[in-house]
Amino acid sequence: MPRISLVLCVYREHDLLKRLLENADDCYDDLIVVHDGPEEGGQADGAAEVAAIDYAERMPDRLLPSGYRQLLDAPLPGTIHALVHQYGGRFFEGPRCFQQEPHWPFTWSQAREEWVLRLDADEFPSAGLRSWLRAFRAQTELPTASGYTCIWPLWDGLRAVTQGWPGGRLFLFDRRRVRFFGMVEQTPIPDGTPDELRLVLCHQPTRKSYGVRNILVRRQAYHWRRVIAQSLLGKATDLPRWRWSSEAWPDQWERLRLHPLRHSLTTLVRYPLHQVRGMLRAGQRPILSACLNPGLHHFMLGVRVFAEQRRRRRHLPS
């Protein structure tokens, strides 16, 4: 029977994590939670670095890499540590990165099972997906797929505003058959095409999950674009990674790195059209702000990459 490790990276999201765990009963065999920085610590002035190594080569019984520690003492009541302990999980504190992707390779290295259930604190499986996960764990034969994708509906802060769109959210995968480097907005790359499920993973943050405000007003979006732009000044192997040995960037990042302004202009037009087409094919009436969201984000991302590259050239010795 395939066994599953549920792995999460959180930052002071106690109530959201509690909702997730309450809705994921009997969906996993092993729980690992990493907190982005100390749970009870103060706000860090700047982001710390995670060791730029391939964590697939590190076994869980080895010494923890620099910056990580597992909390083994009795947890304080009301903490995320206590919540994880209540559900029989293991709780780690890592460097404060202001993002979760750099922590993923570490969490996967700590998983006791080969199948990884990758969820965020503001997500939880729908009733249908929950039943599917239980059936997945109960099957007698090992699955042949490298992973599985699901539907990830848009959320307006009060309710889901789409049903069958967008799809393609990789939520479950065999860690022996994916590759990854820990940069914002990078997702695990399966060795083969994952199986597509028409089941829903609920994504219900405390705000809208889409919209122009998320791009123009939310501070985290500016941070993410800065991190991506600065990462693209180097190599993919400069980042924490999982089964990733190439210094080169995947095609979509390489195009952005080589032609940032062209990327800005083309995605500003192409991405909204892609969104409209996808929503219509899914039988969904297009939502203007959702269609503009990725194009505007990538327009600003391309501009940021161009600015970082120009700044780097100015400071290089002649």
Residue 15 has pLDDT above 80, yes or no: yes
pLDDT the model gives residue 65: 86
Backbone φ and ψ for 232, nearest 5 degrees, come out as -70, -5
Residues 88-132 pLDDT 10s: 999 999 999 999 999 999 999 999 999 999 999 999 999 999 999
Residues 137-177 pLDDT 10s: 999 988 999 999 999 999 999 999 999 999 999 999 999 99
Do strands 147-151 and 195-203 pair parallel, antiparallel, or not at all (unpaired)?
parallel
Do strands 4-10 and 115-118 pair parallel, antiparallel, or not at all (unpaired)?
parallel
Sheet containing 178-181, strands listed edge to edge, beginning at the edge strand earlier in sequence:
189-190, 178-181, 241-242
Residue 318 has pLDDT above 60, yes or no: no
Tracing tokens 């549920």 back to the chain, one arrives at: 6
Residue 178 has pLDDT above 80, yes or no: yes
The confidence band for 58, taking pLDDT boundaries of 50, 70 and 90, is confident
Sketch the domain layout of the chain as residue ranges.
212-315
The confidence band for 43, taking pLDDT boundaries of 50, 70 and 90, is low
Residue 153 neighbours by CB under 8 Å, 6+ apart = 160, 161, 162, 163, 165, 200, 202, 203
Residues 211-229 pLDDT 10s: 888 899 899 999 999 999 9
Provide the CB-side half-sphere exposure for 73 (13 A, CA). 5
Cα Rg of the chain (Å, integer): 20
Residue 184 in contact with residue 227, Cβ under 8 Å? yes
